[in-house]
Amino acid sequence: MAAALMLGAEGAWIGTRFLATLESSAHENHKKKILAVDEEGTVVSRCYTGKPSRVLKNRFTDRWKGHEAEIVPMPWQRIWVERLVAPAKAAGRVDIANFPTGQVAGAITDIPHAAAVVAQLVKETREALAR
C-alpha cells in the first residue's frame, strides 16, 4: 500500500496479502505456492474465465499460451473450465487449477495473522502519507 501511495495511487488491491494469512480459507497449497513464487510466478490469462485475470502460472496456463484464440467468451469458458478443474482446486493442485494471485506474491515471505497485516498496512500508510 505504501509503495502504491508513494507512486501516486489513491489505493491498491491487497487481496493476495490476505490470502497468505493464518485466517484465510485459501487452500494451504495455495498459501505455500504464494511464498514459493518469484515476481514471474503469476500470469495474466483468460484461460480460466474468458476474462483476463492474474493467476498462479502453472501447467494449465502454459498449455493455453499460444492458443488464446480458442478461449471462448465469459461465462462459457468459466463454466467449462470450472467443471474441469474443480476437483483439482479442491485438492489444492496448484499445478493445474485456478488460483487467483496478484503480482505481489513474489514479495510475500510469511503467513502471519490478518491482524498483523492490517497493523503493518496502517503503519506503512501513515509513514507514506507523512512524507
The cell numbers describing 93, all together, are 493442485
Between the CA of residue 86 and those of 38, 89, 96, 99, 110, what are the distances in Å? 26, 5, 10, 11, 27
The C-alpha atoms of residue 25 and residue 122 are separated, in whole angstroms, by: 23
- What per-residue string of b and e applies to 96-127 under the rule 16 or more CB within 10 Å gives b? bbbbbbbebbbebeebeeeeebeeebeeebee
Residue 33 pLDDT: 98
Residue 24 pLDDT: 98
Residue 31 pLDDT: 98
User: For the chain, which residues score pLDDT lower than 50?
Assistant: none
The Cβ of residue 71 has, within 10 Å, a number of other Cβ atoms equal to: 19
Residue 6 pLDDT: 83
Q: In this predicted model, what pLDDT tens digit does every residue of 107-129 receive, in sequence order?
A: 999 999 999 999 999 998 899 88
Cβ proximity of 18 and 117 under 8 Å = yes
Residue 128 pLDDT: 86
What domains appear along the chain, each with residue ranges and CATH number? Answer: 2-130 (3.20.20.70)
The cell numbers describing 85, all together, are 478443474
pTM: 0.89
The DSSP code for 72 is P
The Cβ of residue 130 has, within 10 Å, a number of other Cβ atoms equal to: 6
